[in-house]
Chain A
């Protein structure tokens, strides 16, 4: 398994602004997943993008994947205070375990 490295470590924005988080990884993948973790809670699956996809949308979330650069980004548009959480990416080779980096701590100020 391999873990992704999220960037930045911390991000603080105002409500209504967009938040962009990046993820880099090292080897070829089958898919890449993004998760959210509210403080003291488990992980919530946000979105999965396959290696043959370049962009995927889900509500206010937009994920891109650039396999040539081994990187992905997560964009949250029109952010809300409730989006405050840690966000983790998980690059995955088929059947492998998910491992996680340090995450991006997003704070959305009302």
Chain B
């Protein structure tokens, strides 16, 4: 089956620093990837849609300068949390849509970010 990986799985950083999270589709090409964040016992909130070779589309209320998304290849998208603050602490999950499909979407295992 289609596998999506995320790296790192957990990261702790200090306030003011930046953190990069990678999302990779391991055995398929993904023209579109999605980034979500999830607070404890809450739903996944869609942050942005990342299309290979173009700028990401951000959901309302998500700061694009705060959460930088790069989708440089058909198998890799990165989310960089810039100048992280404790309120950015969350569980970040990416998903990748199979190229050529309008609905097959596979999720990564998530990255737990803690900002101290």
Contact = CB atoms under 8 A, between A and B. Distances in A.
Q: Does A associate with B in a complex?
A: yes
Interface of A: 1, 3, 30-31, 33, 35, 40-45, 48, 88, 92, 94-95, 97-103, 105
B95 A40 contact: no
- 9 closest pairs, A vs B, by CB? A43-B107, A42-B107, A95-B102, A42-B109, A94-B102, A100-B44, A100-B43, A42-B110, A102-B43
Contacts of A33: 103
Interface string B74-116: 0000000000000000010101000000110111111010000
A110 to B, nearest CB: 22
A105 B42 CA distance: 10
Contacts of B106: 45
A97 B46 contact: yes
A42 B43 contact: no
A97 B49 contact: yes
Contacts, number: 51
**Number of chain B interface residues as a range:** 20 to 34
B67 interface: no
Interface string B23-43: 000000000001000000111
8 contacts: A40-B110, A42-B107, A42-B110, A45-B105, A45-B107, A97-B34, A97-B46, A99-B46
A99 B93 CA distance: 13
B91 A40 contact: yes
Given A42-B93, A95-B102, A98-B34, A103 B107 contact: no
Prevailing SS type, chain B contact patch: strand
Interface of B: 4, 6, 34, 41-44, 46, 49, 91, 93, 95, 102-103, 105-110, 112
A40 B44 CA distance: 12
A71 B7 CA distance: 36
A27 to B, nearest CB: 16
Contacts of A40: 91, 110, 112
A41 B106 CA distance: 13
Contact of B103 (A92, A101, A102): A92
